[in-house]
């Protein structure tokens, strides 16, 4: 990356000294290369004290509609939008006809001018282009008439005659009207991932963290990266929409481990399709991570703890790398542990970022610090309430900014008792999401459904989370052992009681709980009872999915559980389809 930056900077400086009016970064097949070019040009402009307009043009390599490095058109735009180009477009690779659907996609998502410089058709067996100027002008002219483009031209196989024919064809056509694109945090891996005011809670997978997962730490220390990749893959399959990666461990070279793992992730499309959150307390590790990501990721984190000058410098660099930022509620005096301090630091940070350096507010994610509750220390009893109230303040008073937090921190007092911890996470998230929490770092495979938590446990947990009584901690402790993992035989028998229900109710229960163990057996039993297989799909299976939809919409179920339910549905339907 740094070698590319040096090369691009030398080229850009020569072009500027030679009298260039605009810099065009074009024929982009690997977005990471383009991000290096953007970084180089932005840094050069800072050195020179002035800037030139930038144009950016990517290239689609085949009928998949992706760049050679695997990104979709919208993901590509999300990755390079921070360059604030006067135009973005597509050139080379495909002929004009094949380019059209991807231009349309770009035209719909980019709030800037659109350019198109297609080839004169596809090359023949001799590598030559046969499309005539008139044929190409007819195709490209339709782009203009459809309102898809602002700038039009040609690439391989085109001649002055082609350009003249195109110019004549579009001479009386109005350029595309630049659309008003709604404000959103637009992230990307190989696929785009957009978060706006209407988005549901975003699950950030937490297990690729050497400080939070003993298994992942062991795999990284032993350099078993293949199995470590499986940890990331499992999270995506279980519903994580962003992957948090942290290598901060005393026994590791964190920078080297981060670079190695991110480069391996990049070669795994089923993982790299989602955005990456580069998580470290060391700036050099964050920066090294950003230099490996072709998509638009998230930095976790920056803060004012080292003073405003460092905060501003790191924020500007994050912007030049094209990343959103998590901003910790942490200042020169330390971490904010009260509602008032959380609000004060978040407001101060927002003002610096938005008003002083022009950081897009939609790319700011505040972490107001989730601390453990039920510690036995009275001063800690309101920690969850303080966090929830700070989240609501961010939603109501800091336009377009988002909020996040490491959810497992809240239950740290019950380490070793996973059922109670999972109940605490679910209840805490239920209330935090209602207050406006945008995202959370979670174990995507272990989120409990709020409605499925035993009533006694749920009530005691809620008393702790909302600090509803002075003895809430003692009350929860008094029942916690009853729910520790590996309970009694009676508890296990109770878990299977639903197997005695009528088959339709069993199917509905399996969908809501995401249980695949008996789904083929029950789907077959239901098929035999029904007049037609479609009745099973339209009846108990859809009834179960309707319950899932209601729970998800009410914030009592999270995306990972919906993913599990969808797998159950898929297996049942696959069994029924042949009949």
Averaged pLDDT for residues 144-169: 97
pLDDT tens for 295-327 read 999 999 999 999 999 999 999 999 999 999 999
The count of other CB atoms within 10 Å of the CB of residue 160 is 9
Residues 82 and 165 in one domain: yes
Averaged pLDDT for residues 499-509: 93
Local confidence band at 493 (pLDDT 50, 70, 90 cut-offs): very low
Residues 201 and 227 in one domain: yes
CATH number of the domain bearing residue 50:
3.20.20.330
Give 310: exposed, middle or buried? Use CB within 10 Å, 0-12, 13-18, 19+. Answer: middle
**What pLDDT is attached to residue 560?**
62
Q: Which has more confidence, 545 or 94? A: 545
Q: Is the peptide bond before 458 cis (omega within 30 degrees of 0)?
A: no
CATH number of the domain bearing residue 502:
1.10.1240.10
Averaged pLDDT for residues 4-26: 98
How many independent structural domains does the chain possess?
Answer: 4
Residues 482 and 393 in one domain: yes
**What pLDDT is attached to residue 141?**
95
Average model confidence (pLDDT) across the chain: 94
- Residues sharing a CB contact under 8 Å with residue 526, sequence separation 6 or more, in sequence order: 503, 504, 507, 536, 540
Q: Quick check: 155 pLDDT over 60?
A: yes
Residues 565 and 521 in one domain: yes
Residue 444: half-sphere exposure toward Cβ, Cα within 13 Å = 28
Instruction: Evaluate whether residue 105 is within a structural domain.
Output: yes
- Binding-site residue set: 92, 155-156
Specify the pTM: 0.88
Residues 25 and 91 in one domain: yes
Local confidence band at 10 (pLDDT 50, 70, 90 cut-offs): very high
The parent domain of residue 237 ranges over: 195-296
Residues 127 and 45 in one domain: yes
Residues 388 and 440 in one domain: yes
- Binding-site residue set for Zn(2+): 92, 155-156
Q: Quick check: 95 pLDDT over 50?
A: yes
Residue 154 and residue 115 in contact, taking contact as beta carbons nearer than 8 Å: no
Q: Give me the DSSP letters along 298-349.
A: EEEEE-STT-HHHHHHHHHHHHHHT-EEEEESEETTEE--SHHHHHHHHHHH
Q: How far is CA 406 from the centre of its chain?
A: 16
């Amino acid at each position: 990356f740094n070698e590319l930056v040096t090369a691009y900077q030398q080229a850009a400086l020569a072009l500027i000294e030679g009298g260039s009016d605009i810099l065009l970064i074009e024929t982009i097949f690997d977005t990471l290369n383009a991000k290096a070019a953007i970084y180089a040009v932005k840094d050069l402009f800072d050195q020179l004290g002035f800037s030139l307009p930038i144009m950016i043009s990517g290239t689609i390599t085949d009928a998949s509609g992706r760049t050679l490095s695997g990104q979709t058109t919208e993901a590509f735009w999300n990755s390079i939008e921070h360059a604030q180009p006067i135009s973005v477009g597509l050139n080379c690779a495909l002929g004009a006809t094949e380019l059209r659907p991807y231009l349309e996609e770009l035209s719909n998502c980019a709030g800037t001018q659109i350019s198109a410089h297609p080839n004169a058709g596809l090359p023949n067996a001799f590598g030559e282009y046969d499309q005539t100027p008139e044929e190409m002008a007819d195709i490209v002219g339709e782009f203009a008439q459809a309102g898809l483009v602002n700038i039009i031209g040609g690439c391989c196989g085109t001649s002055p005659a082609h350009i003249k024919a195109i110019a004549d064809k579009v001479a009386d056509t109005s350029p595309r009207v630049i659309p008003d694109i709604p404000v959103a945090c637009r992230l990307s891996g190989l696929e785009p991932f957009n978060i706006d005011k209407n988005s549901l809670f975003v699950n950030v997978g937490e297990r690729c963290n050497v400080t939070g997962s003993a298994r992942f730490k062991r795999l990284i220390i032993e350099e078993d990266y293949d199995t470590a990749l499986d940890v990331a893959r499992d999270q995506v399959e279980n519903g994580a929409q962003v992957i948090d990666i942290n290598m901060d461990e005393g026994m590791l070279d964190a920078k080297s481990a981060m670079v190695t793992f991110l480069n391996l992730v990049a070669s795994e499309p089923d993982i790299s399709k989602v955005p990456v959150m580069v998580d470290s307390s060391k700036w050099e590790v964050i920066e090294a991570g950003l230099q490996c990501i072709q998509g638009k990721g998230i930095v976790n984190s920056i803060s004012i703890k080292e003073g405003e000058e460092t905060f501003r410098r790191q924020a500007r660099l994050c912007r030049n790398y094209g990343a959103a930022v998590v901003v910790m509620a942490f200042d020169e005096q330390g971490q904010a542990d009260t509602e008032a301090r959380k609000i004060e630091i978040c407001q101060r940070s927002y003002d610096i970022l938005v008003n002083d350096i022009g950081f897009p507010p939609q790319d700011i994610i505040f972490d107001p610090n989730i601390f453990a509750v039920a510690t036995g220390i009275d001063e800690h009893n309101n920690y969850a309430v303080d966090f929830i109230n700070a989240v609501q303040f961010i939603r109501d008073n800091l336009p377009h900014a988002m909020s996040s937090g490491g959810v497992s921190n809240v239950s740290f007092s019950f380490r070793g008792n996973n059922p109670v911890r999972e109940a605490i996470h679910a209840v805490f998230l239920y209330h935090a999401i209602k207050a406006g929490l945008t995202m959370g770092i979670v174990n995507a495979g272990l989120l409990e459904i709020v409605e499925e938590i035993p009533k006694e446990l749920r009530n005691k947990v809620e008393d702790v989370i909302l600090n509803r009584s002075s003895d809430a901690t003692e009350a929860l402790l008094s029942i916690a052992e009853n729910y520790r993992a590996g309970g009694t035989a009676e508890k296990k028998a109770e878990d299977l009681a639903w197997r005695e229900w009528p088959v339709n109710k069993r199917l509905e229960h399996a969908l809501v709980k995401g249980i695949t163990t008996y789904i083929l057996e029950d789907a077959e039993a239901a098929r035999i009872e029904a007049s037609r297989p479609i009745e099973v799909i339209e009846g108990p299976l859809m009834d179960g999915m309707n319950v899932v939809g209601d729970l998800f919409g009410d914030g009592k179920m999270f995306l990972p559980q919906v993913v599990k339910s969808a797998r159950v549905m898929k297996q049942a339907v696959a069994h029924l389809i042949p009949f």
